[in-house]
Structure 1
Amino acid sequence: MSTIVATIARTTWKSLKWNFTTANSAAHKVDCEHIIGFPQAKLFAFAEGLCRVRVSARDTGTVPMQHVAMAAFFPFGSGARSLSPLFQGDHMKRHLPHFLTASIIILMLLHGPIVQPEDYHCFADTRALAILPNALDVLSNIGFALAGVWGWLSLRKSSATPGQAGHVLFVTALVLTAAGSTYYHLQPDDFRLLWDRIPIALACAGLLAGVHGDTSRTRHGTLHVLLLGILAIASVFWWQQSGDLRPYLLLQALPLVLIPAWQWIHGASGAERAGFGIAILLYATAKAAELHDHGVMAMTGVMSGHTLKHLLASAAAVAIVSVLARRAGTTT
């Protein structure tokens, strides 16, 4: 998996270097000879040549390397404004997804391995319902199944699109998520968690492939689904073997930043952007609830943070499927 991540990083960096050299090439150039005193150089060691970039401008002189670093970590802040001549027009828009992906990868490499807490399986709500253990954490998965079935029925009525294969994987993974999460919560342990996380990773992969296909109108949608699906499964097995959650978390983080970027770049309709925006907000709130499992239980007395996470994430899935269903209704 480390080879896969390094390959992604190297490819992303090559795209970024091409962007720097082509953006307003009459006024700017990239000199990949040396860099002196850049304190963050080590974090770029995973990609060939990543530590040797100096950006120069004909009219403004040399851009300080710390501004490049600021732009990498804060692409919409003062760092980006320092490099504003390099990030304008179509070039900026076309390569913004690569830039965001590279930024997240760099931050994760800087952070180091992310391990699962030792008490991860100690959920706040262990109440049983008759013979059903952990009842609310189990039953709250039904929303994923319902959203997945609705998605399947909607996609059957819609015309084929470049993102169709990705959306099929997404709605299929929703049903598998309901099954995998139910299996896990009946008796939580690391082995069962593997079968909970694989469908979640596949759902993220399908969503990425589907939205990318629909926005960019790529002709390689099925190939992207296959590659992202393999990476999704590999990210979970990487966690199982190494204990490091970074590849799995990367796959969950990318849709939150890349989908809005793709929709903005390619001019998606306002309704689709609103639908996905609501879904992203709901999913981010779901992750926050998951982190405060015991706190939510103590505050409400009736529902744990993990159960709330299931409900909010299901609502996010419904918001996305509603976009697909609306699209199907306009194409039939």
Structure 2
Amino acid sequence: MLLPTLSRRERRLLFTFALLALVALFGPELPASQVAIASVFADDRSWHGLPNAMDVLSNLPFLLIGGWGLYRLNRIDRAHQQALAEFPLAPPANDPPDNTLDCAWLFFAGLIATAAGSAFYHLVPDAPRLAADRAGMAVAFAGLIGVAVCERVSQRAGWPAAWFVLMAGLLSAEVFHESGNVLPWAVVQFGGMALVLTLALARPMPHAVGLRLGWVVVFYVLAKAFELGDHAIYEATGQLVSGHTLKHLTASLAGLPVLFALRSLEKDWQAKLLRHNPDPAAVAA
């Protein structure tokens, strides 16, 4: 039997995903006309022929943080491969957590996809482009959920959780594109963040990399507040910056806690390697 082999947290996670899936599949249809889809944004200024320039260019931090994260992950991978070659008898417990790193790869790649999808959408905002925007967000969201599950539930549950959220997110974007029903996407976005908040309140698992999920939630809440205040913020700042532009800038900061956790992971792993082989030259600079 599968369930008896799962831990209590894994069973609760499985139940949560099943409940969210049931709501998305059998809940009442929520037409796009009944929700606040920002098809008309406060700041529509052009810059050197670039339409909606501020809302387009404010996606650059997603690209920068995503690229920074992929660079750091590649550095960890190369250092790990070098360590395996030099110290094949090193204890496996000293190795970086594979599932956490895999989910982090997905997350940072998703930030780059978010930058591309959001910029594509804001050039000419319409429903088909909004589906592309949400598809990019789904990739980042899946990676984030996966890392959070690795931290607070179990390593083995992280990667399946990431794939479940990825498939759910992409399908919900397609459902919206085909039918205009936004309920599945709302379940993915708000149900997923409710899960992240719940996991942030849980005790980290042994050997967790130390991701501060609370900061991820803070940045998300601030970004949503800026999004809802798009026009009001634009007028309050004398049409200097809109709430939606600030939303992009703030949401991109959610990648920083993951970056800092990876930095701590890299330092801790190198320290373990030094304890196994005290020669400082054994560790790659």
- Deviation, structure 1 residue 183: 1.3
Partner residue in 1 for 2:89: none
Q: Find out whether 1:305 has 2:223 as its counterpart.
A: no
Misfit runs of 4+, over 6 Å: 102-111
Partner residue in 2 for 1:327: 265
Partner residue in 1 for 2:124: 187
- Deviation, structure 1 residue 265: 4.1
Partner residue in 2 for 1:124: 42
Partner residue in 2 for 1:30: none
Query: Between the two proteins, what is the percent identity of the paired residues?
Result: 30
Kept in 2: contact 1:161–1:214 (CA 8 A): no
Q: How far apart in 2 are the matches of 1:96 and 1:265?
A: 12
Q: Please say which structure displays the higher CA radius of gyration.
A: 1
- Deviation, structure 1 residue 308: 0.9
Q: How far apart in 2 are the matches of 1:163 and 1:174?
A: 17
Q: How far apart in 1 are the matches of 2:129 and 2:29?
A: 26
More relative contact order in 1 or in 2 (CA 8 Å, sep 6+)? 2
Cα distance 1:96–1:219, how it changes in 2: closer, same or farther (>3 A)? closer
Partner residue in 2 for 1:204: 141
- Deviation, structure 1 residue 174: 0.2
Cα distance 1:280–1:111, how it changes in 2: closer, same or farther (>3 A)? farther
Q: Find out whether 1:231 has 2:168 as its counterpart.
A: yes
Runs of 5+ unmatched residues, structure 1: 1-14, 19-89
- Deviation, structure 1 residue 306: 0.6
Equivalent of 2:32 in 108, 115, 120: 115
Cα distance 1:282–1:227, how it changes in 2: closer, same or farther (>3 A)? closer
Q: How far apart in 1 are the matches of 2:66 and 2:262?
A: 11
Alignment of 1:33-112 (within 5 A): 97=13
Cα distance 1:139–1:193, how it changes in 2: closer, same or farther (>3 A)? same
Q: Find out whether 1:252 has 2:193 as its counterpart.
A: no
Residues 103-150 of structure 1: CA distance to partner in whole angstroms, max 9, x if unpaired?
767887777525255873111001111211111101110110111011
Runs of 5+ unmatched residues, structure 2: 77-95, 271-285
* Partner AA of 1:205 in structure 2: A
Q: How far apart in 1 are the matches of 2:27 and 2:191?
A: 17
Q: How many residues align?
A: 243
- Deviation, structure 1 residue 317: 2.1
RMSD: 3.1
Kept in 2: contact 1:97–1:261 (CA 8 A): no
